[in-house]
Amino acid sequence: MLSLEQVSKVYQTRRGPHRVLDKVDLTLERGRNIGILGRNGAGKSTMIRVISGAERPTSGRIIRGMRVSWPLAFAGAFAHNLTGFDNLKFVCRVYGVPFKPLVPFVEEFTELGSFLREPVLHYSYGMMTRLAFALSMAVEFDCFLIDEAMVVGDARFHARCHYELFEKRKDRSFILVSHDPDVVMKHCENAVVLLDGRLHTFPNVESAYHFYNESLAKTPEVIEQ
Amino acid sequence: MMDSSSVTSFGQSFAIQCRVLHALMMRELITRYGRDNLGVLWLVLEPMVFTLGVTTLWSAIGLSHGGTGIPIVAFAVTGYSSVLMWRNATSQCTAGIEQNKPLLFHRSVLIIDVFLTRIALEIVGATSSFIFLSSFFIFIGWMPVPDNLLLVLEGWLMLAWFGGGLALLVGGGSAFSHLVHRLWHPISYLLFPMSGAAFMVEWFPKRLQDAVLFLPMVHGVELLRRGYFGNVVRTHYDIGYMAECCLMLSLFGLYVVREASRRVEF
């Protein structure tokens, strides 16, 4: 089980403290999944980072009763002066996973060929995303954190991610954040809406969908920077 | 983060930390020294080149300490090696957070792990270069054999402790303000001439002696030289005072590092 208890996250900005998450509660049982809907700038990515443990909450606590991934396909978790393979080795060492058996999968999935022996800083964004996704799949987590906005790439890559995640690993938990209610509707068995730092819960995806669409209609979408 | 229980036992945490330190160690070795040319040997060669350069320079300008009976080469090697102990670890840690930021994205990789790795590498590098250089100079007869190896070791360990504590404090401080990173460089240059590397406390008048003995590393260098040269030199040190300073640096350093971990933002 994964649970968030009264989690708040406040960032210091030049204009004073900015509260992104305000006493958020959330529980996810093993094997279940949930979608988090929110507009641009609603704090979805912050929430994913806090759940993953990359950032600490300002207050409240997070109890991880299962192995929770780092934000999926997030290309920022690389040492850029290391090669693709060295990054894979790093991840394997940190998570205690043997390296060798993973090589064929990573080679096949990333289609990076000899680039896996080049420093990541020479990669294009698409190449980095492919590597990042493959590394996330290399460690067998119980719960995957998916920031939909981060998974960029062509249709073929999307299809492969889809297969790896939603078909091969459909017994796992996942938390999917998205600004697109249709994506959440398609993949998640339940959904919550993040609005002004508060998390709104619903009995089913449909009511979350309606609430979110209405909130969109009420206020014009804020365009991020 | 381990399987079923939400509470991680001490044993599990220890295992995780060991994995993380190993991973970071390999990462540092690859990025800093690479796989080409001499590779990891640079860990030792880098401080060696520095020490050799300073030794040559000091010998050339004839920093002879008329009548003090101290061989210049041994004086330079003991002095500069001790500077490397506290200066490099601290410099490496002030740059450590920025350079390893992407890796901090993995929940189990913490700032303290980055610092411990870098401190360990610097101490290993400086120690190896010290051992290698003194062995070499002793072999060709430019340096005497240490008078009391145990005292040398004691001085060296105290300097390592001082370097580690200072690195934690200044490195942790760099997470709070870029000023810390910027200011460290001029401060380290200013500290170098005062650190005891290039003088013996005995050479100064009493009032100046008291002033330089305020700096903890001076005690370490004096002890190191006491061990190396024996009774040929008169040394001034108070290891109790140095230990107190190191303890305070370490504790305060650990506290600052913990606070720094709470402030990591992406």
Structure letter (DSSP) for residue A174: E
Quick one: A107 and A128 in the same domain? yes
Quick one: A184 and A207 in the same domain? yes
Residue A159 located in a structural domain: yes
List the single residue in B26, B105, B265 with the smallest CB-CB distance to A70: B105
Measured between CB atoms, does B30 come within 8 Å of chain A?
yes
Under an 8 A CB cutoff, do B107 and A71 touch? no
Quick one: A134 and A167 in the same domain? no
**What is the distance in angstroms between the Cα of B101 and the nearest Cα belonging to chain A?**
8
Quick one: A173 and A225 in the same domain? yes
Residue A6 located in a structural domain: yes
**Number of CB pairs, chain A paired with chain B, less than 8 A apart:** 82
CA distance B154 to B249: 19
CA dihedral B39, A95, A159, A100 (to 10 degrees): 50
Q: What is the CATH classification number for the domain harbouring A225? A: 3.40.50.300
Quick one: A146 and A203 in the same domain? yes
Residue A25 located in a structural domain: yes
Residue A73 located in a structural domain: no
Does residue B165 contact residue B253 with C-beta atoms inside 8 Å?
A: yes
Which residues from chain B sit within 8 angstroms of residue A79, using beta carbons?
27, 31, 100, 102-103
Is the pLDDT at B168 greater than 90? The verdict is yes
Does residue A122 contact residue A114 with C-beta atoms inside 8 Å?
A: no
Quick one: A180 and A198 in the same domain? yes
Residue A29 located in a structural domain: yes
Q: Residue B5: which pLDDT band, with cuts at 50, 70 and 90? A: very low
Q: Residue B25: which pLDDT band, with cuts at 50, 70 and 90? A: very high
Separation of CA A25 from chain center = 18
Q: Quote the percentage of chain B above a pLDDT of 70.
A: 93
Residue A224 located in a structural domain: yes
Express each pLDDT in B138-150 by its tens digit.
998 888 899 999 9
Express each pLDDT in A131-190 by its tens digit.
988 888 888 899 999 887 656 667 888 888 888 888 888 899 999 998 888 888 888 899
Quick one: A109 and A18 in the same domain? no
Does residue B50 contact residue B84 with C-beta atoms inside 8 Å?
A: yes
Nearest CA in chain A to B19: A94
CA distance A86 to B82: 34
Under an 8 A CB cutoff, do A93 and B103 touch? no
Quick one: A117 and A153 in the same domain? no
Looking at the 3D structure of chain A, how many domains does it have? Answer: 2
Residue A191 located in a structural domain: yes
Express each pLDDT in A31-89 by its tens digit.
999 999 998 888 888 999 999 998 999 999 999 999 999 888 666 788 888 999 999 99
Quick one: A44 and A133 in the same domain? no
Quick one: A85 and A133 in the same domain? yes
Pick the residue with more confidence: A198 or B45?
A198
pTM of the model: 0.89
Q: Residue A220: which pLDDT band, with cuts at 50, 70 and 90? A: low
By the 10 Å C-beta count (0-12 exposed, 13-18 middle, 19+ buried), A156 is classed as exposed
Which residues from chain B sit within 8 angstroms of residue A65, using beta carbons?
4-6
Q: What pLDDT score does A4 carry?
A: 94
Quick one: A149 and A225 in the same domain? yes
Interfacial B residues in 187-216 facing A (CB < 8 Å): none
CA distance A19 to A16: 10
Is the pLDDT at A219 greater than 70? The verdict is no
DSSP string over A111-135: --GGGGGSBGGGS-HHHHHHHHHHH
Greatest C-alpha distance within chain B:
71
Domain range for residue A219? 1-67+141-225
The neighbour count for residue B254, using CB atoms within 10 Å, is 16
Under an 8 A CB cutoff, do A86 and B27 touch? yes
Is the pLDDT at A124 greater than 70? The verdict is yes
Q: Residue B62: which pLDDT band, with cuts at 50, 70 and 90? A: low
Nearest CA in chain B to A51: B107
Express each pLDDT in B90-102 by its tens digit.
999 999 998 999 8
Quick one: A197 and A90 in the same domain? no
Residue A35 located in a structural domain: yes
List the single residue in B6, B262, B265 with the smallest CB-CB distance to A64: B6
